Chains A and B, each alone.
Chain A
Amino acid sequence: MAVKAVEDLNHVTAILVVHDGAKWLPEVVASLTSQNRPVDQMLAVDTGSIDSSVALVKGAKIPVLSLDRESGFGDAIWAAIQTLPTPTSPENEWLWILHDDCAMHPDALNKLLEALADKPQAVMAGPKLLGWRDKSHLLEIGVSIASDGARWTGLEPHEYDQGQHDGVRDVLAVSTAGALVRRDAFVELGGFDPNLSLFRDDVDFGWRARVAGHSVIAVSDAKGFHAQAAASERRSADVKEAFLHRPLLLDRRNAAYVLLANSSWWMLPWVVLQLLGSATARAVGYLLAKLPGYASDELLALATLVIHPREIASARKFRKSHRLLSARAVKEFIPHRRHQLRAASERLIDSIRNTLLPSVSETSTALEPLNEDEDLLTPGTSGRWWTIFKQPKALTGFAMLILIAIWSRHRYGSLVGGALVQTPEGARDLWRMYFESWHQIGMGTDQGSPSWLAVVALGSTILFGKANLFITLLFFFAPLIFMLASFRLFSKITSHNWLRVMASFLYAISPVAIASINSGRIGTIVTLILLPYIGLLIRDWLTIENSTWRKIFLLSLILALSFAFSMQVFLYLLIATVIISTIDFVRYGNIKFFHERLLRRATLVLAPLLVNIPWSFSVLLDPKNLFLEPGLTIAGGGPNFALLSNPGGSGALPWWSISPLSLVLLVALFSSSKARVISYFGSGALGAAVIIGSLSFSGHGNSSPVRSWIGSLIAIATICSITCGVLILDRIREVLVVTNFHFRHILAGLLVVITTLYSISTISWLVTAGAGSAVRATHSKVLPPFLGIEDGVKTIVLRQIKSYDVTSLQYFIARGHDVLLSEPDIAPDEAPAIANAIKEIADGSGISASRVLGRYGIQYVFAKSPLNKEVVRTIDGLGGFVRSSATSAGVVWKVNNAYHRINFIDLNGKISEIPSTSVGTRTQIYALGSILLTDSYSGSWKIFQNGSMLERTKDVNGFPQFEVKEPGEISLLHDGTTRRGFLSLQFILLVTLIVLAAPAGRKRREMSEGDLT
């Protein structure tokens, strides 16, 4: 003791706060009593423990001070100090604050005191806190608070302690668990804020100490092992401020309190905004994770503060009285926003990576023989870079990239052609098109844009608004995506590496994949991407009652995406559901699991449909659209092509490149394995494709029926066929190895030969003729630039189009620009009067054609080159058309006396133009008369004048007309309330489905100790 008196004048009083900590107390007490530098005095404060904590402490001969259960941590410390004798040497009197769930290293106190001795200005020192269970898990080494209230340790999640943060560091604050604080400073600063009975009292105290001119240090040589029982909800928060006894609520409330009480005045608005924003964002995140309790904690925490503004005011007043330095003195300890963003993005990326690319534990079938002669101390040499190509997946992927580069050599740029139309400049245009209630296509339409447009807009937004880039990348890398997506599915079916790689390669160069890329079918491309994932989730379709609802909703979400791009998938699923449910009913009757199956299958059919409203409803109201895919209506190849699993049409593989897909489906029908069940689904899809492929439909802005495109149905048949092939070959492989030569060898050989021949012929075609398909990068336009100057001006475009090897004259009304993405899907039907006028122009009998066109507001007729000279001469001779220009692009005529888009007709019948924006207008009217809009009639056209709505009627041509009874300013608009309402409903349904499909987050108290660390 004499030695100690000479060397160490410090007097340390350990204050152990106990609250239902019996689980950890034995170790905590043991760690206290085994300190290398013994504690001078010990005192335990029990805050109403109901377990054996008090008995344990008393058993260790530690005096206990009892308080009520609702007493906070700060109250407990303050009460303990009141019982201590008056210090004789205040600068050497230390309080060692201890939690009942934090055991200290035997050398902890010694190291803390040593560090404090070296830093006389420091009044508080904290240890390096490590995990209770995993003692290498670094929890804290000093602590701060982020501007959004998050507890900031500067550490990565689950950071392993390798001494990387060791040393004595100045910090904003240290955790109260194991903190050594000078008693006089503690008392001078008023101790812990009684408003922070639990959580964040440490940061608050550190902040106050800092602005009072003191230092706080973290000492890594001193170690503590903290169970974080309150934060991890291992015990309830029973303090009186803990509204509803919810730890998270209390933590968030206290975090906000600390920021609001300590920040400078001018920073407060910004702090409030950040707190509100981050709380909302976290609440949304918790909702998505199906943790509504945590979500409400986030918002309630702010509410509890808002309703007690005096609390903040008095706290700020108290701090002001003790402050010596500016609040900005702590700036260096508050993490920079850049660091916060980086940490948040890293967490997000980690989360996405873990979800999308779960670490697969590679199993090795044969152990590498151990070379005992090898020197184990010799550093292992990493393999050469080219050894990656020994992996079938990498090799085939590389080959696919080379194939794509050659096949798509005309696709380096903005793509147009086939069924694919021009993409607007940016994502903003796509979003605008999606939300708008009126579209300037043909004579105009109030048909809502399809749901798939929103998906493309979202993809474009992710690519910084580059819509063209998104479409180009999608088409360019589509084969590779097909391959990677299907590889995941086939990996679940077979362990044979080459078999699954070859199967995925075959999927990527299947006839439907090639045809869909070459002919610009974005719907089929997306379907081909999604089908392997659907296949992964729908594997237990026959016994679907065993699937969890989360899985059903996840599948519904993917199906919703699929339905958005191709309603053929919906049709197929609906029919399959009806057939299988009927079979189930016949086989099992009306029993419970039948109901469960029916309910789940019905969910899979209906939930995606609901998510796609209002588009899906409009499709159901016109069932012809079930057979149409996004883009222009370009003919498919018909039933005979479909039989070969080839959708045919423009850009499709020629007939002689026969794939083995249909043959495999046929063979699988006689299989005795699971392949037979899959082949039923594949054959069903193929049969439907053959029947529907033989039908012709008009639509999507094309009045002539064309043979339907059945790409999505063939895609289903394709994935089923290849899956069957993999299953059969995987099973037969083992049989072939161990049996003598018989018919199975011949069959397998034949299949391999046909597949090889198909692959060779297909690749040869792709790099030669197949590369010259309609879809290619181009900057050419149909409309001459001068016809696009006035937005919305109607121009009849006449053009010779080749279809079925026949060139015919076709027309459409342009509105100042070429056709854009999604516009074909909502293009209105032709007006009969216009159709008749065009017919009369073509056969030369249309003396009144110009009058009819003019009446419909068509200002120009443009005959695009090359065009039949007879037609040009006929138009020249018809009268009412005045040539405006004749260039290599074509001939333009102005229609005499044509109406404008918005016309004012006075009482004398004089017509004058009202300038318009792309949809409505706002202008002054000086006379009585009527306003005629030469766009299609819609109940949502409205004109407001002087606060009232003008009466809307239909004129003789069916156009909206409004009677103006007094001069004044008018405002013409297309009311999009209904559209917005439906889109809001769609958003709600989508979010609901996402929440239901998302993996549920776990409450901290539900996590195991291992998970927590």
Chain B
Amino acid sequence: MKARRFFIVVLTLGALIGASNSLSGSISREQYSLSYPSVLCPPTLSALSSQISLGSRNTKIHRVGSTSAKFVKSRALRIPIPSDPVLVDAQGITPIVWQSRTGSWAGGTICSDPAASQWFVGGSADITSRGKLFLVNSGLSESVADVYIWSGSAPATAKAISIKANSYQSLGLDSLAPGESSIVVRVVSRSGRLNAFIVDERGKGLRTLGGDLVSPGIAPSKQIYIPAIPLQQKIKNAPPQQLRLLAPGDVDANVSVEIISGDGRFTPVGFDDIILKKGQVMNFPISPAVNSSVYGIKINSDEPIVAGVFANVGKDFVWSSSVPALTPFTIALTGMSPLLVFVGKSINVEIELSVASGKKLSKTIKGSDIAFWRVPGDARNLTFLRISGETYAAALQKSVNGFGSIPLVAGSVLSKSAIPSANIRVLNP
């Protein structure tokens, strides 16, 4: 009798555990919303021409400042844009903007979604500066930006600037830190949907000294990679390449710089133990004796720092920015044929390229320390499928007007946001 009862109890218990756990596991609790927020491309200074490479002819765009809230189809893969910034419903394909002044300079950067904080290592506020800082508010409420400026001599300053809804402001770099030849700018969005861009254009009288779009770099870090720095043979009177560094923290930083090129890795003399004074923008002439025309650098520091490299290329100059590690994403390259530069200990990058004919080409780029690949001229969209760890990349584009460096960073990022649920618990302390 007791054995029978034992048998029944065991069976019941087993069934109970099985049933309850299967019921428990079948319930999903969270719902998510996946979306690509619109990305913003920078405004265009007068007398500049600007084109955006898009992923599709059906990509929708919207001009900031327009009274209409509607997005319209681009109907082209590469479109010229007027002076106003443009919102692009990129849907995961990061657009590239390419700006140029005829016969003078060219530069490019990616269009990106709004960011809470952006660091720009580049630009000048001295007498030669014609550069601008653009603050674009693509939202429908007023936005407030805090602009922090570091320079070589003056202490850091900060300005709060409000930007009306659906508009932008341009500020001359020379007004931010008058007379300072080396500046670092940080833009923090206190409120609103804010993007910042810097155009570093220089001139002396009627003579232009080149220009470039300064792409935002990574936030202060103890390890920084700048993958694509063009190296031009020395020409007469050309300023040397300069490494611009800033330790924005409260203590000085000890920095070492490693050159990564086709000739291998090495630390130039004098770059193994740089003392970087806190809060002071410092420039270091850098002219590595390497055979290749492109190289990258890796910077190690005991304190978080930011960095960028200024390089002269012909009449133009280029600002190479620091980048985060490369992640899978797609970038629109219509009308461009850049040189992709990868740095890393062991590079292994699988890419897929769609070309004008509609075909898709696959390519695997392998190498150690540094690897290059030139994108064909009929390229449309380039997708980085699989990437080895700790690989950093940027693109160098040459045009008749000048040279530009484009960081390979996803601008249109899939944002996964949990759908908020109603819960009265939020009203309980």
Residue on A with the closest CB to B143?
Answer: A876
With A416-B429, A422-B428, A778-B429 in contact, is A879–B20 under 8 Å at CB? no
Q: Is the CB of A669 within 8 A of B140?
A: no
> Which chain B residues border A754 with CB–CB below 8 Å?
none
Distance to closest chain B CB from A444 (angstroms) = 14
Alpha-carbon separation in the docked complex, A778 to B428 (Å): 11
Q: Is the CB of B139 within 8 A of A877?
A: yes
> Which chain B residues border A470 with CB–CB below 8 Å?
none
Render B151-167 as a binary contact track against A, CB cut-off 8 A, 1 for contact.
00000000000000110
> Which chain A residues border B21 with CB–CB below 8 Å?
639-640, 694
Choose the segment among B191-199, B297-305, B337-345, B375-383 that binds chain A (4+ C-beta atoms closer than 8 Å).
B191-199
Q: Is the CB of B423 within 8 A of A704?
A: yes
Render B91-135 as a binary contact track against A, CB cut-off 8 A, 1 for contact.
000000000000000000000001010000000000000000000
Alpha-carbon separation in the docked complex, A688 to B421 (Å): 29
> Which chain B residues border A634 with CB–CB below 8 Å?
425
Q: Is the CB of B428 within 8 A of A702?
A: no
> Which chain B residues border A442 with CB–CB below 8 Å?
422, 424
Give the contacts of A781-820 with B (CB-CB under 8 A): 781-783, 797-799, 801, 803-804, 806, 808-812, 814, 818-819
> Which chain A residues border B37 with CB–CB below 8 Å?
844
How many residues of chain A are within 8 Å of chain B by beta carbon?
82
Q: Which of B20, B138, B166, B423 gathers the greatest number of chain A CB atoms within 10 Å? A: B423
Chain A interface, >50% SS class: mixed
Give the contacts of B314-345 with A (CB-CB under 8 A): none
Residue on B with the closest CB to A779?
Answer: B429
Determine whether A941 belongs to the interface, using a CB cutoff of 8 Å to chain B. no
Residue on A with the closest CB to B420?
Answer: A809
Residue on B with the closest CB to A820?
Answer: B427
Alpha-carbon separation in the docked complex, A875 to B142 (Å): 11
Q: Is the CB of A810 within 8 A of B193?
A: no
Determine whether A706 belongs to the interface, using a CB cutoff of 8 Å to chain B. yes
Residue on A with the closest CB to B418?
Answer: A808
Distance to closest chain A CB from B219 (angstroms) = 14
Determine whether B269 belongs to the interface, using a CB cutoff of 8 Å to chain A. no
Render A425-464 as a binary contact track against B, CB cut-off 8 A, 1 for contact.
0000000000000000110000000000000000000000
Alpha-carbon separation in the docked complex, A823 to B426 (Å): 13
Determine whether A328 belongs to the interface, using a CB cutoff of 8 Å to chain B. no
Q: Is the CB of B23 within 8 A of A811?
A: no
With A877-B140, A877-B192 in contact, is A812–B16 under 8 Å at CB? no
> Which chain A residues border B19 with CB–CB below 8 Å?
691, 694
Distance to closest chain B CB from A649 (angstroms) = 13
Determine whether B141 belongs to the interface, using a CB cutoff of 8 Å to chain A. yes
> Which chain B residues border A824 with CB–CB below 8 Å?
424
Q: Which residue of A417, A691, A780 contacts B20 across the interface (Cβ within 8 Å)?
A: A691
Residue on A with the closest CB to B165?
Answer: A879
Q: Which residue of A422, A801, A877 contacts B193 across the interface (Cβ within 8 Å)?
A: A877
Distance to closest chain A CB from B330 (angstroms) = 21
Distance to closest chain B CB from A234 (angstroms) = 62
Q: Is the CB of B139 within 8 A of A707?
A: no
Q: Is the CB of A782 within 8 A of B428?
A: yes
Q: Is the CB of B24 within 8 A of A694?
A: yes
> Which chain A residues border B362 with CB–CB below 8 Å?
none
Determine whether B419 belongs to the interface, using a CB cutoff of 8 Å to chain A. yes
> Which chain A residues border B428 with CB–CB below 8 Å?
416-417, 421-422, 632, 782, 818-819
Determine whether A564 belongs to the interface, using a CB cutoff of 8 Å to chain B. no
Q: Is the CB of A879 within 8 A of B35?
A: no
Q: Which of A842, A844, A876 gathers the greatest number of chain B CB atoms within 10 Å? A: A876
Determine whether B189 belongs to the interface, using a CB cutoff of 8 Å to chain A. yes
Choose the segment among A478-486, A576-584, A711-719, A865-873 that binds chain B (4+ C-beta atoms closer than 8 Å).
A865-873
Residue on B with the closest CB to A868?
Answer: B417
Determine whether A693 belongs to the interface, using a CB cutoff of 8 Å to chain B. yes
Q: Is the CB of A781 within 8 A of B429?
A: yes
Distance to closest chain A CB from B425 (angstroms) = 5
Residue on A with the closest CB to B194?
Answer: A873
Distance to closest chain B CB from A659 (angstroms) = 17
Determine whether B289 belongs to the interface, using a CB cutoff of 8 Å to chain A. no
> Which chain B residues border A801 with CB–CB below 8 Å?
423, 425-426
Q: Which of B24, B27, B165 gathers the greatest number of chain A CB atoms within 10 Å? A: B24
Alpha-carbon separation in the docked complex, A127 to B76 (Å): 122
Q: Is the CB of B423 within 8 A of A639?
A: no
> Which chain B residues border A417 with CB–CB below 8 Å?
428-429
Distance to closest chain B CB from A814 (angstroms) = 5
With A809-B418, A847-B140 in contact, is A876–B424 under 8 Å at CB? no
Residue on B with the closest CB to A829?
Answer: B422
> Which chain B residues border A823 with CB–CB below 8 Å?
424
Distance to closest chain B CB from A121 (angstroms) = 75
Distance to closest chain B CB from A680 (angstroms) = 11
Distance to closest chain B CB from A990 (angstroms) = 29
> Which chain A residues border B429 with CB–CB below 8 Å?
416-417, 422, 778, 780-782, 818
> Which chain A residues border B189 with CB–CB below 8 Å?
873
Residue on A with the closest CB to B422?
Answer: A830
> Which chain B residues border A882 with CB–CB below 8 Å?
141-142
Q: Is the CB of B425 within 8 A of A690?
A: no
Q: Which residue of B16, B33, B143, B194 contacts A839 across the interface (Cβ within 8 Å)?
A: B33
Determine whether A703 belongs to the interface, using a CB cutoff of 8 Å to chain B. yes
Determine whether A880 belongs to the interface, using a CB cutoff of 8 Å to chain B. yes
Determine whether A603 belongs to the interface, using a CB cutoff of 8 Å to chain B. no
> Which chain B residues border A814 with CB–CB below 8 Å?
427
Q: Which residue of A696, A706, A829, A872 contacts B191 across the interface (Cβ within 8 Å)?
A: A872
Q: Is the CB of B114 within 8 A of A877?
A: yes
Determine whether B2 belongs to the interface, using a CB cutoff of 8 Å to chain A. yes
Determine whether A878 belongs to the interface, using a CB cutoff of 8 Å to chain B. yes
> Which chain B residues border A151 with CB–CB below 8 Å?
none
Q: Which residue of B27, B141, B166, B424 contacts A696 across the interface (Cβ within 8 Å)?
A: B27
Alpha-carbon separation in the docked complex, A829 to B424 (Å): 10
Determine whether A700 belongs to the interface, using a CB cutoff of 8 Å to chain B. yes
Determine whether A687 belongs to the interface, using a CB cutoff of 8 Å to chain B. yes
Determine whether B69 belongs to the interface, using a CB cutoff of 8 Å to chain A. yes
With A812-B423, A839-B33 in contact, is A638–B24 under 8 Å at CB? yes
Determine whether A999 belongs to the interface, using a CB cutoff of 8 Å to chain B. no
Determine whether B29 belongs to the interface, using a CB cutoff of 8 Å to chain A. yes
Give the contacts of A832-885 with B (CB-CB under 8 A): 835, 838-839, 841-845, 847, 864, 869-870, 872-883
Determine whether A385 belongs to the interface, using a CB cutoff of 8 Å to chain B. no
Q: Is the CB of B422 within 8 A of A835?
A: yes
> Which chain A residues border B16 with CB–CB below 8 Å?
643, 687, 690-691
Give the contacts of B1-44 with A (CB-CB under 8 A): 2, 5-6, 9, 12, 16-17, 19-21, 23-24, 27, 29-30, 33, 35, 37
Q: Is the CB of A693 within 8 A of B20?
A: yes
Q: Is the CB of A701 within 8 A of B425?
A: yes
Determine whether A404 belongs to the interface, using a CB cutoff of 8 Å to chain B. no
Q: Is the CB of A703 within 8 A of B30?
A: no
Q: Is the CB of A874 within 8 A of B420?
A: no
Q: Is the CB of B30 within 8 A of A806?
A: yes
> Which chain A residues border B17 with CB–CB below 8 Å?
639-640, 643, 690
> Which chain A residues border B6 with CB–CB below 8 Å?
670
Q: Is the CB of B2 within 8 A of A707?
A: no
Q: Is the CB of A880 within 8 A of B140?
A: yes
Q: Is the CB of B69 within 8 A of A847?
A: yes
8 pairs of A and B residues whose beta carbons are closest in the complex: A879-B140, A877-B139, A877-B193, A701-B424, A639-B20, A830-B422, A694-B20, A694-B24
Interface, chain B (partner A; CB < 8 A): 2, 5-6, 9, 12, 16-17, 19-21, 23-24, 27, 29-30, 33, 35, 37, 69, 114, 116, 137-143, 165-166, 189, 191-194, 415, 417-429
Other A-B contacts than A690-B16, A705-B29, A798-B420, 8 sampled, CB-CB below 8 A, are: A691-B19, A691-B20, A702-B424, A704-B421, A811-B421, A823-B424, A824-B424, A883-B141
A and B contact pairs by CB, cutoff 8 A, 24 listed: A416-B429, A632-B424, A639-B17, A643-B16, A643-B17, A690-B20, A691-B23, A694-B20, A702-B423, A704-B30, A782-B428, A806-B29, A808-B421, A810-B422, A811-B421, A812-B425, A818-B427, A841-B420, A843-B419, A872-B191, A876-B141, A877-B140, A877-B192, A879-B139
